[in-house]
């Protein structure tokens, strides 16, 4: 059994999390679950470790994070296999993610001493300066779809800025977070600076969000959970950053290479078995190419290699759980009932594990629940449009605004539509959503604040203004 990672403390024996391997539908690890006493101990350990960590020079913190990054790189294969087995994601994707974790730590190691204050020529004269000050103990609550990647997007800037951390991974996927905690200790991150407490969200996550000694919550997960965290955080005016749900559009104009755009559009929904906050699950296609495009999406979906995550050829693994499979199947049934045309997929693959065939719905329309709601499974809805204005209106007709893609060879139209779309991140003639060096986050109910790039550092520090009178 893997233990919680809290400085100088063994778990209180609050229970056990049985970690399931979704490709087999069987348990493959056990992890100690944190109870309320463990959470308090983790926050206390983080509080005790704060003065020494925050007083290190930014350069010294950066040096430790460089070592952390190097150790992650050296263990990339181990982490990738753990993630592939625990989440069910293809090993090739998991390898990319493990290396992205190392890249992220390296980025914030280098950023630690490049995030600084200003001198301001105030009217009164004298000397006015700003300092970047750590927030204190920060609570990080992360989901199960990209466990180590999303944890590191928060841990990297939090530690670089001099905060100490209590990290709560999702109960379904605690393994890589715990391993990262071990590697951090090995790299020289002092005990108590990064504490990992797997445990149920409704108890441990909620207690972290309400804890009086926690100054900030960095959260990624469902919009409904984000609302609960925002309400809990309000009691102590905690800082919050939220990365929430999405129902992102992919707009395809008639002037593109249909086979290429359809292949990319399909991959941008079916990657990670559709369990991706950036999944472009509303494919909005100009009418003259609509029929041809739907056919190309069908070919791409049916050509997707679904299977064992550890097989190098696999492009899509199982969904994470029995629950997620049921949710997806419910939406597939609903789509048919709502009048959309199921072109392919949606059915279970016989045998063990939570495997589904990627599904494509044609003749989908706004107002249908499969179009309006986040499914978080491998289901694409293809919608037709006639005018540019209609495409923009359909794309923006959502409570969400996280990601989006836009395909056209008309430069002026690309620029016009890109500016009109209400999304925090957008790719034009590409399906790439995430760039470590650029800001990532959502408009509307997709979130609050930005991760990645130098922007993330603003969310893990306070600005302190100091005025010095210099008149004799
Ligand atoms: P979730 O909201 O159920 O859980 C996320 C985390 O919050 C888990 O660690 C969980 O244990 C914890 N939690 C649950 N209830 C809580 C509560 N009341 N108080 C505090 N913590 C609580 O989300 P999930 O099902 O793990 O992840 C899927 C969701 O995450 C999807 O909606 C997806 O779009 C979203 N997501 C968003 C992004 C993004 O960057 N915008 C990235 C990945 C996933």
Residue 146 has φ and ψ, to the nearest 5°, of -135, 65
Band of pLDDT at residue 1, cut at 50, 70 and 90: confident
Indicate if ligand 1 lies below 6 Å from the C-beta of 143: yes
Q: Do residues 293 and 446 make contact, with C-beta atoms less than 8 angstroms apart?
A: no
Indicate if ligand 1 lies below 6 Å from the C-beta of 242: no
Pocket residue to mutate for ligand 1, from 204, 214, 222, most atoms within 8 A of Cβ: 222
Taking CA atoms only, the protein residue closest to ligand 1 atom 21 is: 205
Taking CA atoms only, the protein residue closest to ligand 1 atom 28 is: 221
Indicate if ligand 1 lies below 6 Å from the C-beta of 243: yes
**260: enclosing H helix or E strand:** helix 258-270
Indicate if ligand 1 lies below 6 Å from the C-beta of 220: yes
What is the mean predicted confidence (pLDDT) over 229-255? Answer: 97
Residue 8, pLDDT above cutoff 70: no
Q: In this predicted model, which residue has the larger pLDDT, 5 or 216?
A: 216
Residue in 21, 97, 243, 286 annotated catalytic: 243
Q: Is 243 a catalytic residue?
A: yes
Residue 3, pLDDT above cutoff 90: no
133 Cα–ligand 1 center, Å: 28
What is the mean predicted confidence (pLDDT) over 393-408? Answer: 98
What is the mean predicted confidence (pLDDT) over 131-149? Answer: 98
Residue 122, pLDDT above cutoff 90: yes
Band of pLDDT at residue 2, cut at 50, 70 and 90: confident
pLDDT value at residue 11: 67
- pLDDT per position as a tens digit, 298-321: 999 999 999 999 999 999 999 999
- The average confidence (pLDDT) of the chain is 97
Could you give the CA distance from residue 359 to residue 188 in angstroms, rounded to a whole number? 47
Indicate if ligand 1 lies below 6 Å from the C-beta of 402: yes
Q: Do residues 142 and 221 make contact, with C-beta atoms less than 8 angstroms apart?
A: yes
First to last CA, the chain: 66
**250: enclosing H helix or E strand:** strand 249-252
Q: Is 250 a catalytic residue?
A: no
Indicate if ligand 1 lies below 6 Å from the C-beta of 226: no
pLDDT value at residue 425: 98
Residue 7, pLDDT above cutoff 80: no
Residue in 161, 277, 278, 344 annotated catalytic: 277
- pLDDT per position as a tens digit, 86-106: 999 999 999 999 999 999 999
- pLDDT per position as a tens digit, 175-211: 999 999 999 999 999 999 999 999 999 999 999 999 9
Tokens of 11: 């778990």
pLDDT value at residue 165: 98
Residue 14, pLDDT above cutoff 80: no
147 Cα–ligand 1 center, Å: 11
Residue 446, pLDDT above cutoff 70: yes
């Amino acid at each position: 059994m893997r233990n919680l990672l809290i400085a100088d403390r063994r778990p209180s024996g609050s229970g056990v999390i049985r970690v399931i391997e979704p490709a087999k539908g069987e348990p493959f690890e056990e992890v100690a679950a944190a109870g309320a006493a463990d959470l308090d101990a983790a926050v206390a350990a983080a509080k005790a470790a704060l003065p020494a960590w925050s007083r290190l020079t930014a350069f010294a913190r950066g040096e430790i994070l460089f070592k952390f990054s190097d150790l992650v790189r050296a263990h990339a294969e181990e982490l990738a296999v753990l993630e592939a087995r625990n989440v069910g994601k293809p090993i090739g994707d998991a390898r990319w993610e493990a290396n992205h974790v190392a890249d992220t730590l390296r980025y914030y190691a280098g950023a630690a001493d490049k995030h600084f204050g200003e001198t301001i020529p105030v009217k009164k004269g004298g000397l006015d300066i700003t300092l970047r000050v750590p927030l204190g103990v920060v609570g990080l609550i992360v989901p199960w779809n990209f466990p180590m990647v999303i944890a590191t997007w928060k841990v990297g800037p939090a530690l670089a800025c001099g905060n100490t951390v209590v990290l709560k991974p999702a109960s379904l996927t605690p393994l890589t977070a715990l391993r990262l905690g071990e590697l951090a200790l090995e790299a020289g991150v002092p005990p108590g600076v990064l504490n990992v407490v797997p445990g149920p969200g409704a108890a441990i996550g909620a207690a972290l969000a309400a804890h009086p000694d926690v100054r900030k919550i960095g959260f990624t997960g469902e919009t409904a959970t984000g609302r609960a965290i925002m309400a809990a955080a309000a009691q102590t005016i905690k800082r919050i950053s939220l990365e929430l749900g999405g129902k992102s559009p992919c707009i395809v104009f008639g002037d593109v290479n249909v086979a290429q755009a359809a292949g990319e559009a399909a991959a941008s929904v079916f990657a990670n078995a559709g369990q991706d906050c950036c999944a472009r699950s509303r494919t909005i296609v100009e009418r003259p190419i609509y029929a041809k495009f739907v056919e190309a999406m069908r070919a791409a979906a049916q050509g997707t290699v679904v299977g064992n995550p550890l097989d190098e050829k696999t492009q899509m693994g199982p969904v994470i759980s029995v629950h997620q499979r049921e949710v997806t199947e419910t939406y597939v049934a609903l789509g048919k009932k709502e009048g959309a045309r199921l072109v392919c997929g949606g059915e279970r693959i016989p045998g063990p594990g939570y495997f589904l065939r990627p599904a494509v719905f044609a003749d989908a329309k706004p107002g249908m629940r499969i179009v309006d709601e986040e499914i978080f499974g491998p289901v694409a809805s293809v919608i037709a449009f006639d005018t540019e204005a209609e495409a923009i209106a359909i794309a923006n007709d959502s409570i969400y605004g996280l990601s989006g893609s836009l395909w056209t060879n008309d430069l002026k139209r690309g620029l016009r539509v890109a500016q009109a779309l209400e999304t925090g991140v957008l790719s034009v003639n590409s399906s790439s959503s995430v760039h470590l060096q650029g800001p990532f986050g959502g408009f509307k109910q997709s979130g609050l604040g930005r991760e990645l790039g130098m922007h993330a550092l603003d969310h893990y520090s306070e600005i302190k203004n100091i005025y010095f009178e210099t008149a004799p």
